[in-house]
Chains A and B, each alone.
Chain A
Amino acid sequence: MDIFDFSDGREGYYGEYGGVFLPEILHATIEELLACFRECKADPKFWQDYVALLQNYSGRPTPITHLENLSRKLGGAQIYVKRDDLNHTGSHKINNVMGQGLLCQRLGKRRVIAETGAGQHGFATATMAAKFGFDCKIYMGAVDVARQRPNVFWMENLGAEVIAVEDGQKTLKDAVNECMRDWVTNMADTHYILGTACGPHPFPEMVSWFQSIIGMEAREQILKQAGRLPDRVYACVGGGSNAMGIFQGFFDDDNVELIGCEAGGHGVGSYMHSARLAYDDASVGVAQGYKTYFLQNNEGNMNKTHSVAAGLDYIGINPIFAHLWEQGKVRFEAATDTEVKEALTLTMRTEGLIPALESTHAFVTAIKEAPSMGKDEIILINQSGRGDKDIFTIADALDDSKWKTFIAGKADQYRSENK
């Protein structure tokens, strides 16, 4: 199955979804990007350079870990985890960023901009920009800046300028809008490093292509380690780049079920979630440059979204998944904030792993389903990021009194230093 073969349909469309819905001023820039991307994709040397870069700089291939304790405890399927949390900067985001960095060099541009939600993509972009010598500006919703200070700290120390976006809901979608505004002004020397498989064509295809390295590795590794293909593969879905990454490795394996796990936030009917496909609240619309399912009202204005995981807190789903979901190729489930906290504690205690809050959504669904599966069945989860970046959020969620005392003490110390 090649979903990126557009010869029978419209370029950039996956069924009814995708396309390019941008102001006219960006037409030439998108055409230039598309031409450059096509050139890179057709050039085997480009992919070789990309893989070598990730091997030497980011520690790829990332391993697969068999969670024997957790599997035993749940008493069902054998659970394996793809460890993309072990990448440099702590998540799969670096894959896409390094790829687009190489592409940016080909474009001959010297400045990069990026939106970021949890801060992982901004962190990865700032890292890449430092290595490649690009000027770098990161747009981040003011709400996210407030809840993800550690990532902001690193971005700034890596030399990027971080702009707190005060418009709209002050989260990821507003950071995307702000990137668009920068891009329509500075496209001549600036490449927009979109962080997920959303936005106008060719971004969904391009980001998916770079992330496909996860699935390529994972398929080979699970065959070697478990002796056969997994029965089910789970990945969390915000925009959907890590899920596209791992799922692509199994698109041609009809017996492998693919499950996307969205952010259920406060649950069904709460209207405080980011579940576009798992719940019934989203409808088809056009925003942020593409057509897909959005959490919007009946007049086409976007609804408020919520997730404990900033990286999943987003209105739209990537257009490829909208299509694959309708085709029955990918199943979608949601995990609530509460379930995520429980699954995180369980995973830490039984396996010594700290998945990011985003990735923990995939664990929730897998943990729910594993007990009803046979002991010889295999589950593969993509641990797309590591959770230590979430220490403030997790400490709050777990209501950790010693952490609070520590922070209060730190605050006192800074206050007395300022006097």
Chain B
Amino acid sequence: MGLQTYIAERKKDKDLLVMAHVVCGYPSFEDNMQELEIMAEAGVDLVELQFPFSEPSADGPLFVRANEASLKSGTTIDQCFEFMYQASQRFPFKILMMGYYNTAFKMGEEVFVKRIKEAGGVGYILPDLPVEEFANLHHLSEQEGIEPILLMTPTSTDRRLAKLGAASRGMVYVVARKGVTGSKTTMGDEVLSLIARCRQHTKLPIGVGFGVSCKADMDFLRGTADLAIVGTAALKTWESSGAEGLKVFFAELMA
């Protein structure tokens, strides 16, 4: 079942889905597993597993440090795929690989796609791989039934959105504002008009991320977006108040 169908199925029961995020190996894989348990229990629909990279230039300070600490503790790609496999066996939500293009490039694009598939992942997000450069990888992905998730942004022109829309598979990740992950986004008319603009160029479900952090944001996105993408806020909660805190965070977020 493709991501689009999966999202449509899940949307029969609720009006706004949630995609969450963990950085593999940070603080540890045991912690990651506990985070995923909490997310699954709360009813999270999709999870991005970020494979740590030494140059995470699209990430904000919290994820930068998480990437760095994970690599420092010795996290390998094999471990990330093994974790993806265990998680995909165990939880009902779908899993995406998230990371930077060099991770895929170094292991070889064909191997990359195959390994995601073997590990039970359904797609990937590589924010530094532009549409001009992804022809081969997307072709390989299509063959394996793995879906590349593209980003649409506030600076994208309509012409660009049309190009991105035509190349998108599964769902579209709409970046709510300029900047890196983790800063607060003011949910307002700009976000609404951006989503509307993106809708004109894709029939796929739309997830909105960058700065989604609380129930008010969820309420704002309900009826507009198909998914809310929550990253930094959850990790911040885990760091400050652990498993109990994260349970409360998701309970409140998804109430």
Q: Are A and B interaction partners? A: yes
Chain A interface residues toward B at CB < 8 A? 19-29, 167-168, 173, 176-177, 180-181, 184-188, 283, 285-289, 296, 298-302
Q: Is the CB of A187 within 8 A of B60?
A: no
Residue of A whose beta carbon sits closest to that of B52: A301
**Does B101 belong to the interface (CB within 8 Å)?**
yes
Give complex CA distance A180, B180 in Å: 9
Residue of B whose beta carbon sits closest to that of A21: B128
Q: Is the CB of B156 within 8 A of A24?
A: yes
Q: How near does chain B come to A350, taking the closest CB pair, in angstroms?
A: 42
Residue of B whose beta carbon sits closest to that of A173: B55
In the complex, what residues of B have CB within 8 A of residue A187's CB? 155, 178
Q: List 26 A-B contacts (CB under 8 A).
A: A19-B133, A21-B130, A21-B133, A22-B128, A22-B130, A23-B127, A24-B130, A24-B175, A27-B156, A28-B155, A28-B160, A173-B55, A176-B57, A184-B179, A186-B178, A285-B106, A287-B54, A288-B57, A289-B128, A296-B54, A296-B106, A298-B106, A299-B106, A300-B105, A301-B53, A301-B71
**Does B89 belong to the interface (CB within 8 Å)?**
no
Give complex CA distance A331, B115 in Å: 39
Q: Is the CB of B101 within 8 A of A286?
A: yes
Partner of B68, one of A25, A168, A181, A286: A168
* Known contacts A167-B64, A187-B178, A296-B106: A24-B132 contact under CB 8 Å: no
Q: Is the CB of A185 within 8 A of B102?
A: no
- The size class of the interface chain B forms with chain A is 35 or more
Chain B interface residues toward A at CB < 8 A? 52-58, 60-61, 64-65, 68, 71, 76-77, 100-103, 105-107, 127-133, 150-157, 160, 164, 175, 178-180
Q: Is the CB of A185 within 8 A of B130?
A: no
Q: Is the CB of A300 within 8 A of B151?
A: no
In the complex, what residues of A have CB within 8 A of residue B151's CB? 23-25
Q: Is the CB of A181 within 8 A of B57?
A: yes
Give complex CA distance A210, B15 in Å: 55
In the complex, what residues of A have CB within 8 A of residue B180's CB? 181, 184-185
Q: How near does chain B come to A55, taking the closest CB pair, in angstroms?
A: 37
Known: A20-B132, A24-B175, A187-B178. 18 other contacts (CB 8 A): A24-B151, A24-B156, A24-B164, A26-B155, A28-B156, A168-B54, A176-B57, A177-B57, A177-B64, A184-B178, A285-B102, A285-B106, A286-B102, A286-B128, A287-B55, A296-B102, A299-B107, A300-B53
Partner of A301, one of B54, B101, B107: B54
In the complex, what residues of A have CB within 8 A of residue B58's CB? 23, 180-181, 184
Give complex CA distance A19, B102 in Å: 14
Q: Is the CB of A25 within 8 A of B153?
A: yes
Residue of A whose beta carbon sits closest to that of B154: A25
* Known contacts A23-B128, A29-B155, A288-B55: A185-B64 contact under CB 8 Å: no
Partner of B55, one of A25, A177, A185: A177
* Known contacts A168-B54, A181-B60: A21-B129 contact under CB 8 Å: yes
Q: How near does chain B come to A212, taking the closest CB pair, in angstroms?
A: 27
Give complex CA distance A310, B61 in Å: 24
